[in-house]
Amino acid sequence: MKKIILVISLIIIIVLIYFSLNFFTLDNIQDKEVNNSHKLFANYYDDAKKLLDTLNINEKIAQILLVRHPDTLDVTFQKNYQFGGIIFFKRDFNNKTKDEVIKMIQDLQRVSNIPLLTAIDEEGGTVSRLSDNKNLVSTPFKSPQDLYKENGYQAIYDDVINKSNILTSLGLNLNLAPVVDVSTNKDDYIYKRTLGMDTEHTSIYAKTVIEASKMTKVSYTLKHFPGYGSNKDTHLTSSIDDKTYEDILKYDLPPFISGIASGAEAIMVSHNIINSIDNVNPSSLSLKVHNILLQDLNFTGIIITDDISMNALKDINDIEIKAIKAGNDLLITSDFEKSFNNIKEALEENVITEEELNNKVLKILAWKYYKKLI
């Protein structure tokens, strides 16, 4: 009997060794994505893999970049590069009619072999790209704080529906909002963009926005992971957070957890350095920060960097490489030529492998199928 048990045990060990040796190939990773039912885009990886196999290396690089729309309305840049997404700012809407905005976006989609993510920071209040143009929005979008004062979470829910309908009518399909950072101090840089309330209320806010967004055709993005706190404006300078990890777990992460549980498709990572997690790398470039999101919070959606052209990263070399290695799927950049070339050079030198790139592109394509863009 003991010999039989020993033989069976040896067979099990051999089988386990065989599978462990063959697990970390691209195809097996992709199969795991397809067959793992808890993955947010699980039903779309088969189609995404078929499309991925048709792309050349330049097209793959372009898919992981969400680029700032250049000053010119000429679509040549998109025709040449085939970027995965374009983000629009206030200058892109100034004085335009609704028809002009629709045409601007349709022209870009027309030259895109794979439908674009068309993104905007439409938080309401102080960060609103459309509100100054009455041709597009008759009533400016209110801040989360003003909405809550008006009619609590119901006003926030209704605002998401209304806002999303307007964005959809213009051809926009991705909102880089809401800000679910917890801030109750009016002196904080981020305060005016938040709900301005404690962790519990902010967690309900995150849940409300994501649940409302699921009733629309616009994807919403929780930001800025792992919580902005009282840090400086990273558009202007680097910022260091000295909060304990215990405080981050208790106060900052719950809104993200709430949003993820509600089906959040995307999360943006900040450029703040969180000393208690990684005292060297900004969060957007930190493997440790991303592992919290991927492993501890089990997030299976799209991880997006804040704009890597911000001043908080200006003294850092190899930003694109570090961003990819850290675990980001989509990189926001205002200098698309530089970012594209840096990634291509890293691939040519095998600093980034094509397998690493493929895994990012596969996820983005699956998201586009999930969103019914493709």
Identity of residue 270: S
Identity of residue 307: D
Of 30-34, 131-135, 259-263, 328-332, give the lowest mean pLDDT range: 30-34
Percent with pLDDT over 90 in the chain: 82
Among residues 83, 74, 140, 150, the alpha carbon closest in space to that of 113 is found at: 83
Question: How do residues 140-176 score in pLDDT, each as one tens digit?
Answer: 999 999 999 999 999 999 999 999 999 999 999 999 9
**Does pLDDT of 351 surpass 60?**
yes
Q: How many angstroms from the chain centroid is the CA of residue 283?
A: 14
Boundaries of domain holding 315: 24-370
DSSP structural state of residue 195:
-
In-domain check, residue 164: yes
Q: Is 334 exposed, middle or buried (0-12, 13-18, 19+ CB in 10 A)?
A: middle
Structural domain tally of the chain? 1
In-domain check, residue 251: yes
Residues 6 or more apart whose CB falls under 8 angstroms from that of 176 comprise 87, 119, 120, 121, 122, 221, 223, 268, 304
In-domain check, residue 1: no
Among residues 152, 178, 150, 149, the alpha carbon closest in space to that of 163 is found at: 178
Q: How far apart are CA 265 and CA 41, in angstroms?
A: 9
Going by their DSSP bridges, the two strands 273-274 and 331-333 should be labelled as unpaired
Percent with pLDDT over 70 in the chain: 87
Q: What angle do CA 73, 75, 79 make, to 5 degrees?
A: 165
Longest dimension (CA), the chain: 84
Enumerate the β-bridge partners of residue 174.
119, 219
Contact (CB, 8 A) for 358 and 60: yes
Going by their DSSP bridges, the two strands 219-225 and 302-305 should be labelled as unpaired
Among residues 174, 75, 199, 69, the alpha carbon closest in space to that of 118 is found at: 174
In-domain check, residue 18: no
Q: How far apart are CA 209 and CA 53, in angstroms?
A: 35
> Helix, strand, or coil here: 124?
strand
In-domain check, residue 62: yes
Residues 6 or more apart whose CB falls under 8 angstroms from that of 88 comprise 69, 105, 118, 119, 120, 129, 172
Highest mean pLDDT among 12-16, 32-36, 232-236, 274-278: 274-278
DSSP structural state of residue 232:
-
The sign one gets for the Cα dihedral 370, 123, 263, 232 is positive
Question: How do residues 53-78 score in pLDDT, each as one tens digit?
Answer: 999 999 999 999 999 999 877 999 99
Q: How far apart are CA 8 and CA 251, in angstroms?
A: 50
pLDDT at 315: 85
Enumerate the β-bridge partners of residue 268.
304
Q: H or E segment at 119?
A: strand 117-120
Of 143-157, 213-227, 284-298, 307-321, give the lowest mean pLDDT range: 307-321
Among residues 50, 57, 83, the alpha carbon closest in space to that of 69 is found at: 83
In-domain check, residue 343: yes
Report phi then psi at 241, rounded to 5: -110, 125
Question: How do residues 78-113 score in pLDDT, each as one tens digit?
Answer: 999 999 999 999 999 999 999 999 999 999 999 999
Q: How many angstroms from the chain centroid is the CA of residue 24?
A: 25
Q: How far apart are CA 36 and CA 10, in angstroms?
A: 28
Mean of all residue pLDDT scores within the chain: 89
If DSSP states are collapsed to H, E and C, what string results for 94-108? Answer: CCCCHHHHHHHHHHH
CATH code of 296's domain = 3.20.20.300
> Helix, strand, or coil here: 333?
strand
